[in-house]
Amino acid sequence: MSTLDMTMAAVVGGLFAAGFYLMLQRSLMRIVLGFIVLGHGTNLLLLVAGGPPGRPPVVQGGAGGPGSPEATAEYADPLPQAMALTSIVITFGLTAFLLALAYRSWLISGHDEVRDDVGDRLIGTPRARRAAAEDRDAPEEAR
């Protein structure tokens, strides 16, 4: 593995780590930024998976003719390029949607912080789980 491959692997790993870290935050803008960084990491991963840069996607002929293994070795794989373009479009569409949701939430609540749900906290306590289990196991007339 060359130094360039290791560098690109570290950059892709860093982008994924930063994207996931931002997506785990409470602020909606950080979530959107994390999604954007994650999209860039995905695009870079797909382009790195396409092989070394500089090879044309289609070559006329080759050393042994159009169908020979020597001619196939000169081709660049166009599938990662197509997947990266598709990923760019999907990331752009979802980013626009998430920005619209964040803006709507900011208009309604006046901030972009995601608050805790009190019901989730209540269900999450051991005492509440025991009470729910006792209520579920109690006879119908006792409720």
Q: Which amino acid is at 22?
A: L
- CA 124/CA 31 separation, integer angstroms: 24
* pLDDT at site 41: 95
Provide CB contacts within 8 A for 114, sequence distance 6+.
26, 27, 28
Q: Average pLDDT for residues 83-109, to the nearest whole number?
A: 93
Compare 35 and 49 and report the one with higher pLDDT: 35
Residue 19 has pLDDT above 60, yes or no: yes
* pLDDT at site 57: 67
* pLDDT at site 39: 94
Provide CB contacts within 8 A for 48, sequence distance 6+.
5, 8, 9, 12
Q: What is the mean pLDDT of the chain?
A: 81
Domain residue ranges in the chain: 3-116
- CA 98/CA 12 separation, integer angstroms: 23
Q: Which amino acid is at 15?
A: L
Q: What is the CATH number of domain 3-116?
A: 1.10.287
Note the pLDDT tens digit of each residue in 37-88.
999 999 999 888 877 777 776 666 555 555 555 555 566 777 888 898 999 9
* pLDDT at site 54: 72
* pLDDT at site 116: 74
Quickly state the pLDDT bin for 99 (edges 50, 70, 90): very high
Sequential DSSP letters for 29-82: HHHHHHHHHHHHHHHHHHHHHT-STT--S--SS-SS-TTSHHHHTT---HHHHH
* pLDDT at site 40: 94
